[in-house]
Copies of this chain bind each other. A is one copy, B any other.
């Protein structure tokens, strides 16, 4: 039966706003145009300036981009002395007028600039790309982290969970979206359109993505799901070209076998947690026969940790490597007391538990290099997520099944000190 179409109906014009026909020329420097934009009061003129800035930015070479970020970072910063003054004033007289003055002064001018840029049609995606550039410069120019902080602040507001749209991706989806799924899959590469079809079209496969209304052609993050009988112990069985699809109604398990962030420029504006939970909620409702929600996840830091620990593994002992993996996931911690493994941090932080560990589960080259082919199931149990989250965030506790705990106890490792900094969730191939 039909849901109301009011919304889709309403929104079909979002990107329909008229562009500005042919490009217009503006002889000024990009900085000057930025300053002009901050005083422009006519909407159309403002859009033109904003578009000019974003187009101009895109054309800049690396050095000029750096110069542009220096301008943002320094010339459009806040005035600390003024903030201190106004804070003191507000401290002695908390009037609305003083509050407003302090509030205005404590927001760097670059924030207002980005807000204005974002008003132009199509600007949001361009700002996300600009931040990708900025992130890539942070190592070299750590002081740019100030500008990055401001952009993240805005992106978090714009990409508020309440504005995100989850949508199923299937073989009926527009090719323009599907080609991005191919491009952005970060965990188990999609080689061809036929490969893609095998992940979308069968009755026992699902794919879901988040979108934002202002970037309707760009998935933000997507998760690939296999509906199975029982918990799978190898990615090859899930991705096999020969397998027969089953009816979704006959499955009892939903397996999240790949989750990929699509927008490097949105790093730190996390959606993965929300996406998985929404998929769990929706599948629970639509397919009541699904009892278990598990991942089939890589253990990207395993081999590196073993090497650092001085416990290199031969690969000939499947039990042995499972024990080592269990040990790693349960006991190897970073400086902040959280698991060293980035994927473990992510799922455990979401309230999942370590459910089972499988050797010989990933024959791909990257799987062998990173974890000697071992994979792990994390399990999401809706009724315990809140409680697990609390145990993890408050007490740094890694919840696991007793069989995983037993594996870990029998692992042949000396110590478990932190060796490497955890990397973030993988984003798309660079």
- Residues of A whose CB lies within 8 Å of any CB of B are 1-18, 41-45, 77-78, 80-81, 83-84, 87-88, 90-91, 94-96, 99-100, 102-103, 106-107, 115, 118-121, 123-124, 142-143, 145-146, 148-150, 153-154, 156-158, 160-163, 165-168, 170-178, 193, 197, 211, 213-214, 216-217, 273-274, 277-278, 281-282, 285-286, 349, 351, 382, 385-386, 389-390, 393
Contacts and interface: CB of A to CB of B under 8 A. Distances in A.
Contact of A120 (B94, B142, B162): B162
Given A1-B282, A43-B277, A154-B157, A11 B162 contact: no
Given A87-B81, A214-B162, A173 B170 contact: no
A87 B90 contact: no
Nearest to A285: B18
A213 B80 contact: no
B145 A96 contact: yes
Nearest to A161: B119
A277 B42 CA distance: 10
Question: What does DSSP make chain A's interface, helix, strand, loop or mixed?
Answer: helix
Given A91-B81, A146-B94, A165 B11 contact: yes
Contacts of A5: 5, 9, 12, 172
A103 B45 CA distance: 31
Contacts of A382: 44
Contact of A168 (B2, B143, B172): B2
Contacts of A94: 77, 80, 143, 146
Q: How often does this chain occur in the complex, in copies?
A: 4
A239 B121 CA distance: 33
Contacts of A80: 87-88, 90-91, 94, 102
Given A160-B119, A213-B163, A96 B6 contact: no
Nearest to A283: B1
Given A10-B211, A83-B87, A45 B386 contact: yes
A42 B386 contact: yes
A12 B8 contact: yes
A146 B99 contact: yes
A149 to B, nearest CB: 5
A160 B124 CA distance: 11
Nearest to A193: B193
B83 A106 contact: yes
Given A3-B16, A44-B385, A172-B174, 13 more contacts: A5-B5, A8-B11, A42-B351, A42-B385, A45-B386, A45-B389, A80-B87, A84-B84, A99-B145, A121-B162, A162-B214, A172-B175, A172-B176
A238 to B, nearest CB: 21
Contact of A12 (B2, B157, B171, B393): B2
Contacts of A217: 6
A42 to B, nearest CB: 4
A41 B393 contact: yes
A44 B8 contact: no
A212 to B, nearest CB: 9
A156 B118 CA distance: 12
Nearest to A153: B103
A106 B99 contact: no
B87 A389 contact: no
Given A42-B389, A83-B106, A166-B13, A4 B172 contact: yes
Highest count of chain B CB atoms <10 Å: which of A7, A17, A171, A351: A7
A160 B9 contact: no
A153 B5 CA distance: 31
Nearest to A5: B9
